[in-house]
Amino acid sequence: MLEARELAATRGDTTLFSNLGFTLAPGALLRVTGANGSGKTSLLRALCGLLAPAAGEVRWNGENIRALREEYWKHLAYVGHADALKGDLTVLENLVFACALAGLDIPVTRARAALESFGLSGREQLPTRALSQGQRRRAALARLAVSEAQPLWILDEPFAALDAQAVERVQLLAGEHIARGGMVVLTTHQEARIKAPSATDISLDRR
């Protein structure tokens, strides 16, 4: 269970958001919306533990994530707005390494299957710098197809640069993950159609 209490973040002198709280139970979805620059990425980075919030805390199963560290990150699959792909490594090498960092030891056949499900079959051995923006996004998101063991997914703008088919694929994966008791946090500008019994929306726009 992920819990945010009285969370606040600032950039320079401006307060992005303050007194933000929510509870995300297993099998729930959290959508974060807001205009550009409203602090969506900052909120997600605070939830990941990459950014120290200006006030408040994030708790995972009742404990502060900044104290839990690896015990928390073990349960987390984070796809940031940067793709975290090395241009000199192949698509397959990038995926296997991303999984290895998260502590997942996946066989190559599974990695290939994950890439295939994202429409990247035949491109596994290409260096990622040879891919288009959308294909790189697909390659980064392909790890979700093998991340079912990690209960918490935090996705920053997962649909950016994706075509309709890939968006559909990500929504399906997120829906499946929620159905098996996972938690998904995402930011998006598009209408996300993810099947979730309980969905919360947080808007960071100033009211």
Partner 1 sequence: MTAILRSVIRRDLLLAWRRRSDVATAVLFFVIVTSLFPLGIGPEPNLLREIASGVIWVAALLACMLSLTRMFESDHADGALDQMLVAAAPLGAIVIARVFAHWLVSGLPLVVLSPLLALQFDLPPELVGVLVLSLLLGTPVLSLVGAIGAALTLGLRGGGVLLALLVLPLYVPVLIIGAGALDATAAGLSALPHFLLLAAMLVLAGAFAPWAIAAALRISAE
Chain residues binding partner 1 by CB under 8 A are 48-52, 69-70, 73-74, 76, 78, 80-89, 93, 96-98, 100-103, 105, 127
For residues 189 and 121, give the distance between their C-alpha atoms in angstroms, rounded to a whole number: 29
Residues with Cβ within 8 Å of 36's Cβ and at least 6 positions away in sequence, in order, are none
Cβ closest to partner 1, residue 51 vs residue 113: 51
Cβ closest to partner 1, residue 17 vs residue 73: 73
Cβ closest to partner 1, residue 49 vs residue 182: 49
CB of 125 to partner 1, least distance (A): 13
Cβ closest to partner 1, residue 151 vs residue 196: 151
For residues 91 and 93, give the distance between their C-alpha atoms in angstroms, rounded to a whole number: 6
Name the DSSP class of 143. G
Cβ closest to partner 1, residue 35 vs residue 100: 100
CB of 45 to partner 1, least distance (A): 8
CB of 191 to partner 1, least distance (A): 26
Name the DSSP class of 90. B
> Edge-to-edge strand order for the sheet containing 28-33?
76-79, 152-155, 183-187, 28-33, 198-203
CB of 73 to partner 1, least distance (A): 5
Cβ closest to partner 1, residue 37 vs residue 198: 37
CB of 156 to partner 1, least distance (A): 10
Neighbours of 167 (CB within 10 A): 17
* CB 127, CB 121: distance < 8 Å: no
Residue 45 in tokens: 């980075």
CB of 70 to partner 1, least distance (A): 6
Residues with Cβ within 8 Å of 98's Cβ and at least 6 positions away in sequence, in order, are 84, 140, 143
